[in-house]
Structures are given as C-alpha cells and as structure tokens.
Structure 1
Amino acid sequence: MKSIKNRSLSAQFRRTLFLIIITSILASLITYAGVIMLFIRALNNNDIYGENYYEQQIPEIEKYIHKKNTTILSPSNAEDLNNMIHGDGLLYQVVDNDSNFLYGTYKKQIFETKEQLFNKLNTKIIDSGNFVKIVPIIDDSGKIKGAVLLAYQLKLTYANGNENELWRDDRVIILVLLSPFIYIIGFTILFSRILAKNINRPLKLLMDSSQKIKEKNLDFEIDYYADNELGNLCSAFSEMKEELKKSLSAQWKIEQERVEMVEALAHDLKSPLSIVKVYSEALIDDTEISEEQRQYLAVIEANVDKSVSLVQQMQYTSELEKSCIQLQLVPINLTEFLEQKVYYYELEARKKEISITLNIQSDIEESILIDIEKLERIFDNIVSNSLQYTPEGGKIKISAKAEKEYISYEVCDSGTGFSAKDMHKVFEKFYRGDEARQTKDGHSGLGLYIVKQLVEMLGGSIRIENAECGGACVIFQHKIFNL
C-alpha cells in the first residue's frame, strides 16, 4: 500500500475530503449519542421534570382546595398550599369572589371583574404563555367565595428550577445542533494543514534550491523522493540542476578567464603606453620639430592619455568583479567631503562656464562611516559625465539628504538628458549610449557600470531619470553604516 506522500496530488485531495466527511459524521453521531444518554439519565434520576410534570399535580391540589374550603382564603394557609406544590414551575394566586388578589406566587391580575372570573371557573385559559387552571372556592351553602388560579407551562425543567441553568442548557442544545458544521470546519482546518505540510515541504525545497542557483551555488541536493507529481518535479529539478551546473561551470570558468585576460591585457598595455607617452612628451619639448609635427604629437599624447584612462578603468572593473573585495570603512564628515569635492569640480566646470551648486539637508549626521575611496569614485564618474554632456553656461546641481537607514544623493545637469534606450542600458558594461548623450570624443562605456557596482557594494541602489525642466538626473543612495 502506498504511503501518503507517494499518492498523487488528486488522490491526496480526495483522501483529505473523505477524512473530513467521515470524521465529521462520526464525531456528530458520538455527540448526539452522548447528549441523548445524558438526557435519559437525567430523566431517570429525576434531574429533569417532564413537560406535564406540573400539570399532573393539579388534581391533587384541587382535592386539597375543596377540602380546605373557604379557609384557604386566609393568607395563613399560604405555607400549606406551598407544601402541596413540588417544584418551582407551578405558581398560584388566591382571589376572592370579586377577583381581588389575596396572596400567592403569581402576582399578575388576570381578571378585572367578578363576571370574568365566574365565567372561567373550572376551565383552563392561557395567560402570557402560561396555562392557568381556575379552581373555585365554595362554602358549605354552595356559594362561590373565591378561586385559586394555578399557572404553569408545558416544558422540560430542571428539578431545582434554576432558570440560569435552563438558559445554559438552551445554548448547549444550539451548540449540539450546530456541531456537524463545527466539526466540518475543525476537521477541514486539521486535515488541510496536514495536506499543506505534505505539499509545502517539496515546494520549500524547490524555492530554496532556486535561491541557491540564483546565488550561483549548485552544490546542493533536493532530499525529497516520492512517486507522485511533486516527486517527479523534484527529480526533474535535480536533473536540470546537474545540467545547469555543467553549463554554468563552463560559463563561469570562461568568464573568470575573460576577467583575468582583461586584467592581464590592461596590465601589459600600461608599459607600452607609458613609453609612448614619455617619448611623445620628449618630442614635443624638442625645439627642432615643426609646428605641424608638434600638433601630431599632441594628438598622439591626448589619445595615449585616453588609452591610459581606459586601461585603468578596465583594471578597476576587473577588480570589482572579484568577490573578495572588502569595504574599507572610515569615519568622515560628509558635509566637508561634499564641499571639498564640489570645489575640485568647479575648477573643471569653469572651463565651460558651468555652475555647480550643492544642497545638503540639515538632518544628515555630522560624521558617518563610509568607504571614502569608493564614494569618491562614484561622484567622480557621475559628475565627469555631467560635465561632459552639459553645454557651456549650463548648470549642475548636487543634493544630499538622509532617508531612514540610507543617505540619498541626486546629481542633475542641464544637458541633453537620457534617451529611451539609455533608460534600459545605461548601466551595462561598455554601453556608449544613443546619439543624444554622445560626444565627438566618445567614452569607454564603463563609467556608470562601475558606479552601479560600487553603489551596490555600499548596500544601496541607483537609477536615472530625466528632469522635468530638461537634463539628466542620476539618483543613488548608500547604507548608513553604524559608527
């Protein structure tokens, strides 16, 4: 016989439904049987009076009333009359022949006139839900001197007549009647949890495995084996993981080799580029060369500088792609740091008559922990892009503010802004942008890629948008590290 977890999902659902129905029916039958047994036992032990218990006492009370005759009109007979009544469910009222109340336990006046009373003698009427038996009081000469009114109800009552217990008993009866629905709800919750547990375990294993794959960790096993849909799914996932492991391992190896090759190439290019730069500078300083040759050498030197800058960026990018980089957190005064950076940027901005403004909100802490080298490189790359794309006479605005556990920055310029293609690809490696953000000199396409890597290392995020009044905005934030 198959174990529960080896059953198909449809079979498990059917089995759960069957168990809910059967257990609810059995529990309801047991409840009804128990209540019936308790009720019969209470009747046998005289703990509960039958519906006609008080009605059966009336003939005996009538005999007593006829025996006492008119003496019963005296309130001194109240105790004897009370002793004739067994239980608290039978009330009485003694009235004279004018229907005036004399004494008794039933206080309500039923008849207003003598005629009304005489018309109902030896009859049974209903008053406010009670049956009332009118027993006449006759003297020796045969004249009617009054009557005894006996009031009762036809219902089950406790022997002690405790109305509170009766009320509690009514609630128990309602609860018993509703017990099948209560059992259905209870057993549905119970068995559905068991079913959910059987289903959730393999699903959780699959979700954990997906997360491990996302983290590039393929050294795990899915410890779930069952002859059903979930077991087949786990087996298929394990097979996919093994194939993926082979494919990604090869891909990761190629990627690692590429990073190492780029790093080695960048390192090897530094020496020849340095030599070309030194010789070009030496030739420029030579007074015997012509002006035309001097211009050619200036172009060579400028392109050597660009090549050196590109090599440095390639080296830095390779370093960022290594997982062993650690943050070097040091305490800094953020306001002073930003003011100093803006001062250096203004020296470059003056060449194009670009104004740079800094806005720092007062809620920023005076001193924070940060990797200052990485934060500097982030600002240098972003602001250098803004300086490159902002036209002469333009503006660059830098702002900073605290937001809960982060510090948020905005660098906005009055340049050409980002194109629709830029919005999706600007942070990709070697992306050079659309014509809207191009310059005649071009660029490496690594600046914002490096910025994104550094921002994420600082526990933050980055995005771009176009300002409402024109120009581009780069918005990023980093985590506030505790001192």
Structure 2
Amino acid sequence: MGKKMTDTPKPLRRQFITQALWILFLSALASLVLWVGLFFLVTHLFQPVNYYEKKIPSIIRLADQEGGALLDPALRSRLEEIVPREGILYRVVPLAGGTGYGTLSEGEVPKRTELIRNLNQSDQRNGYIYVYHPLVDSEEGLMGVLLLRYALSLVASNPTKGPLAIAFAVGFMAVPFVCLAGFSFWFGRRLEKRLTPAVHLLMDGAEKIEKSDLDFTLGQVGGSRELAAIGSAFERMRFALRSSLEKQWRIEQSRRDMVAALAHDLFTPLTLIQGHAEQLSKGQGHDEERKRRYVETIHTNADRAIRLLEEMQEATRLELPTFVLHGVPVEAGAFLKQKRDEYTTLCVMREIQLQTEFRDERKDRQQLFHLDERRLSQVLDNLMANAMRYTPAGGVIKWRCLIREGSLEMEIADSGPGLSEKDLRFLFDKFYRGDPARSLDQGHAGLGMFIVKTLVEKHGGWITAGNMPQGGACFRFRIRELDGERV
C-alpha cells in the first residue's frame, strides 16, 4: 500500500509550489554563504569602508597641538603627512580673512557663520561627510577652522582599486538573483526530465494512431497526476478506436461473407431453374409428366432462393440499431398449446413423436406474460425445424417449458446424431451450416442458429447447445419478460 502511494505521481500544482519553495530556500542559503565568502575576500583585498574615517582622530590631535599656528601655510607639509591625499580632502580656513590652503576647493567652503555654527560637528552633503574642527590660539581664541571631507564607501576607501571594488559591490547585489536564476534552471531541468518521458510517450502514441497503428499499449504515464490522467484517457481512447475499427472490420468481413455465401447458395438453385427453364422453352419432345417435374423443380428452387434471401435480410435487420422487440401481453399457456399443435402436425407427417412438458410455477397462472410473440415463435420454429431435420423417422423430440415469474425457460432435445465438437464451437456463428458428417442437407444459409441466438439475447436471455447423455442434440434457452418495447 505504501509503495503504491509513493509511486503515485504528484499534481503539477504541488510540484511547482514545492520546487518554488526549494528554489527560494536554497537561493537564500546559497546567497548567505556567498555573501560570507565575498565579505571574507573584501576584508583581505580591500581597505574597510571606514578606513579614512579612522584617520580623522590623528588629524584632530595634530590640529589641537598646533592650534592657530596651523593657519600658517608653512605647516602644510606637516599636515599633509598625516592626511591621506587619496581619501581625505582638507581646507584650513582663517576667520580673519583670506582663502587659506588645502586640497578642498574654495567653492565647497561654507560661509563664516555656517563654519562657526558647525564647529565640533559633522554634516553630510552629496554623499560626503564634512568635519568642522576649530583652530584656537594659546588664549583659546578662535582663529580658524579645519574642514575635512571624506566618504564612507568601498570605492572611496580604495581609490586605486575602484573598478574591482565596483565589481565586488555589483556582485554583492547580484548574488541573490544569480542564485535564483541558477536554482530555477537546475530545478527546471529536473522537472523537464521528469515530464519529458511522459510527453514523448503520449506523442509517440499519437503518431502511431495517426498511422492507424493501434496494436500497442501506452503503458504507465508518469511525471504528474495530470499527465497520468491524460495517459489513462489516451489509452481508453486507443482501446475504443481499436475496438471500433475491429468492429468495423468484422462488419465489413461479415458483409463480404454474406455476399460470398449468398452467391454460393444461390448458384445451385438458379442453375437448376435456368436449366429446366431452357428445357421447357424448347417445347418439343416433352410429355406432361416431364414438364410437371421441370415446373416442380423450378418452383422448389425458386422457393429455396427466396428463403435464402429472406434469411439474409432477417440477419441484417436484427443487427440494425433500430431493431426493436415489441412486448405485448400474451397468455403463455394458450401460446404454448398453439405452437404444440403446429409442431405435432409436422412431426406426424415426418413420423416423429413429439413429447411436451409445460409447467407454470407462477402464483397467478392467469396473469398475462409480456413478450414479442412473433419473435418467440421465430425462435421456436427455427429450433423445432432444426430438431426435425436431424431426427430420423421413428425418433422423438422432447419439448419442456418452465414458466416463472418474469421469465420463460425451454429445452428442446432430439434423438438425432447429436452435435459434433465443431458444431458446439461454431453453431451460433453466421453462415455455419453444421458438421458435414451430421448435416443431411445444405439447403439453408447457415443463419438460423445465429438468428435464434440474437433474438434470445434481445429478450435479455441466453441460449446453450449440447448433447443429451443418451444421444441427440439439446438446446436450452431462457428469455425475460419484456416491459413495453425492448431494443
């Protein structure tokens, strides 16, 4: 049971959601790992972002030591010894007037009032940090301002490695997207490998059907529950198409067999009719007795040809979808007695004894029984004619009938040669004429038993054929009571 549940394909929706969650989880985990690795490289290849900010205290200490004396340009070289030229720009601004000196342009120096207001503070403008430090004389008098400018960024902290720093910054930002793209591609390939065999299997099956090759089995289609359902529907369609084509082929084969059988069976009577008609047409040298025999032969064979055609038409009619049995209320006892009288007369003419046994096990024996009287008579006529054909003079035909609630069961047995193994296999097939060793004549199209079986089954019943222990053929069949019209 567990294995079956494991082998059941998951729905596509569940697979997509599961893969999406795995992609997000693994992308986040991989991004974290890569970020840690990149951070480790950054710390070894680049100066930290606050590298120049750490230089500010030493510059401030020098400014405090020199005080107002730092306004003298002669001390510029000393100041620039500790001010990193690549990362920090400075300007020494005297409050008494003058431009002062430094690497920071005069245009970035604010007005005197703003300088005084920002003393011992820092502000941020245009991505840079400005530090304002007072320069005082020995009497603590404010003489000027030391203005420092630097930036807190990887590129600013590594001016000689700018392109590389930019590449690392872009890499940091691109890591999550790269991981998402990579894992999406990986999981997409896995899903493709899971679904592709099923899709190829369905495409191969469609190509075979297009070529009218239905002699194959699609097999189990995996990949997803939806594809498995499509595969099952595809297999049912293939089986239905194959059954339909086989049925069509059987119908076509039956039609060809019918035409061939009709041509074969009509050949003999029509040849006899033609030959005797030619003799009559000559009109000379024939006495009345010979003419009578010619006319009788023509009449007999014409009747035989008509009977063959009628059997063909009847077999075709029974197979039409429009064929309907008409159930009418019939008094079963009276119907059986009438048929018994008919068959008794025929049996007497053939010197055959007919034994009958009718039993009615219904509670109300006067209740009418719904059946198609004409079609049931057709079934009995065929079975009785078959029994009389093979029962020799002095033989016995036994007819038993059991009437029950909603059904009729009958048995017709004769004392003839019985049925051969071949008969038992093919007796109810179209155009089967019986084993030659048993057949006494071939004056029929081999459709009688086929018609009997079809009519019995149309009544919702069944029919079997066998041999009696003491010899002779035995037919048993059962039909159900009809309710109105039954197709």
TM-score normalized by structure 1? 0.46
TM-score normalized by structure 2? 0.46
